[in-house]
């Protein structure tokens, strides 16, 4: 589905900021240009601010035209609408409130917008990724059903979340909407969901299941290769590690989609391991409470499975007669949702989300 941003001539400079790296780029017509990275000076505020300014200056030098705005993701807590960063766990230099947005506006003379990475990821997927992908398939299949709401999760160092509703990013009154990491942990209810759905969760589960809690845990990519039989190691432990992650993620997704009533998308570095965790994710989403009640009002289809995708697109289409008339109309009585993996990749989705957010505000 084409968007109004694809042919837009304006350029927006973007940044995906984390505790270890600052990934700069610019976006022009939903395309990333001039990407590069710098290391984050996590404990040195002046050094970190210098790097951020320097990074945007370098991006600006490489652009074919002047940028109209800066729009980027930065960890929270933050007063995102005002551009003020709060006390960050992984960036301890930002203590007591740092007016990063106003500082950059003074330096570059253009509007600056800051948001959470999870929110921008989902917004990018809603603008040019997963949401139009699904609606295009529905249109091509002849279904009248369309979706306009999207909830998403990013699986990586932490568990991020975001909501896009009717073409806009949902931020919340305190700039802390969709804090998915604070959902319950289905497997260990006394802990937050991030402890069951993150890099450290997969590593911890692998060591526990392999019976070697004192060993050095492999990276999740290696654990995935072990689980797929592509690398040496404890295959059963690797499979169980991702099964647990899928169960926790599925429960978080079910809680959110019950409230949002839209589609679900998963991104982040761990999403590449979806062949191992999607089965348990859908077992969790489509499971039952102890009472026998279904976990959600809708059935969730796996868009990465061709057969499930076909059933989702088909629905239960029928024709019904308008009372007192011979006229027939199409009717699909099946409430349903679909969950799948990012169509853009997390970095590109965040950048496009930041781009679209800035242009929307300029308009």
CA distance 285 to 251: 6
CA atoms within 13 A on the CB side of 329: 7
Give the pLDDT confidence of 124-139 residue by residue, as tens digits: 999 999 999 999 999 9
Note the pLDDT of residue 4.
64
User: Quick one: how many helices (H) and strands (E) in the chain?
Assistant: 10, 15
CA distance 142 to 150: 22
What percent of the chain has a predicted confidence (pLDDT) above 90? 81
CA distance 134 to 312: 10
Give the pLDDT confidence of 334-351 residue by residue, as tens digits: 899 999 999 999 989 999
Asked if 115 and 171 count as a contact pair (C-beta separation under 8 A), the reply is: yes
- Strand segments, DSSP code E, in the chain are 11-17, 21-28, 31-39, 69-73, 78-79, 84-85, 112-115, 149-155, 159-165, 168-169, 263-267, 299-302, 318-321, 328-331, 336-341
Asked if 100 and 72 count as a contact pair (C-beta separation under 8 A), the reply is: no
Asked if 63 and 40 count as a contact pair (C-beta separation under 8 A), the reply is: no
CA distance 303 to 71: 31
In the predicted model, is pLDDT for residue 30 greater than 80?
A: no
Give the pLDDT confidence of 102-116 residue by residue, as tens digits: 999 999 999 999 999
Give all domains of the chain, ordered by start, each with its CATH number. Answer: 11-116 (3.30.420.40), 130-343 (3.30.420.40)
CA distance 165 to 334: 21
Pairing mode, strands 149-155 and 263-267: parallel
The closest alpha carbon to 180, from 242, 97, 122, 131, belongs to: 122
Give the pLDDT confidence of 219-245 residue by residue, as tens digits: 999 999 999 999 999 999 999 999 999
Note the pLDDT of residue 1.
39
Quickly list DSSP for 20-36.
SEEEEEEEETTEEEEEE
The closest alpha carbon to 249, from 333, 324, 152, 125, belongs to: 152
Pairing mode, strands 263-267 and 159-165: unpaired
Note the pLDDT of residue 2.
41
DSSP 196: G
pTM, rounded to two decimals: 0.93
Mean pLDDT to the nearest integer, 297-312: 97
Cβ–Cβ contacts within 10 Å for residue 175, how many?
19
Task: Measure CA 57 to chain center.
Answer: 28
Residues whose CB is less than 8 angstroms from the CB of residue 348 and which lie 6 or more positions away in sequence, other chains included = 32, 124
In the predicted model, is pLDDT for residue 283 greater than 90?
A: yes
In the predicted model, is pLDDT for residue 29 greater than 50?
A: yes
Q: How does the average pLDDT of the chain come out, rounded?
A: 93
User: Three-state SS for 238?
Assistant: helix
């Amino acid at each position: 589905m084409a968007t109004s941003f694809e042919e837009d001539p304006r350029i927006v400079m973007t940044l995906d900021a984390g505790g270890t790296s600052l990934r700069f780029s610019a976006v022009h017509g939903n395309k990333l240009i001039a990407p590069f990275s710098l290391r984050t000076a996590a404990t040195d505020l002046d050094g970190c601010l210098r790097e951020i300014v320097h990074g945007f200056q370098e991006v600006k030098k490489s652009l074919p035209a002047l940028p109209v705005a800066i729009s980027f993701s930065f960890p929270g807590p933050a007063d995102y609408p005002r551009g003020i960063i709060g006390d960050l766990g992984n960036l301890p230099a930002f203590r007591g409130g740092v007016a990063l947005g106003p500082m950059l506006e003074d330096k570059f003379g253009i509007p600056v917008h800051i948001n959470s990475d999870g929110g921008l990821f989902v917004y990018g997927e809603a603008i040019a990724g997963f949401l139009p992908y699904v609606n295009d398939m529905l249109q091509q299949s002849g279904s009248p059903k369309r979706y306009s709401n999207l909830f998403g999760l990013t699986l990586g160092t932490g568990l991020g979340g975001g909501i896009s509703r009717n073409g806009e990013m949902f931020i919340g009154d305190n700039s802390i909407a969709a804090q998915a990491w604070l959902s319950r942990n289905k497997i260990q209810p006394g802990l937050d969901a991030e402890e069951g759905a993150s890099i450290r969760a997969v590593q911890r589960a692998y060591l526990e299941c392999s019976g070697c809690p004192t060993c050095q845990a492999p990276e999740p990519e290696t654990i995935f290769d072990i689980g797929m039989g592509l690398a040496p190691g404890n295959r059963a432990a690797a499979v169980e590690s991702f099964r647990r992650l899928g169960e926790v993620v599925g429960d978080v997704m079910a809680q959110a989609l019950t409230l949002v009533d839209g589609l679900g998308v998963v991104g982040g570095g761990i999403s590449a391991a979806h062949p191992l965790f999607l089965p348990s994710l859908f077992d969790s989403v489509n499971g039952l409470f102890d009472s026998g009640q279904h976990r959600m009002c809708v059935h969730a289809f796996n868009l990465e499975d061709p057969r499930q995708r076909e059933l989702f697109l088909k629905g239960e289409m029928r024709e019904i007669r308008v009372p007192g008339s011979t006229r027939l109309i199409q009717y699909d009585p099946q409430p349903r949702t679909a969950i799948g993996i990012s169509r853009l990749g997390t970095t590109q989705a965040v950048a496009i989300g930041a781009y679209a957010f800035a242009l929307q505000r300029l308009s």
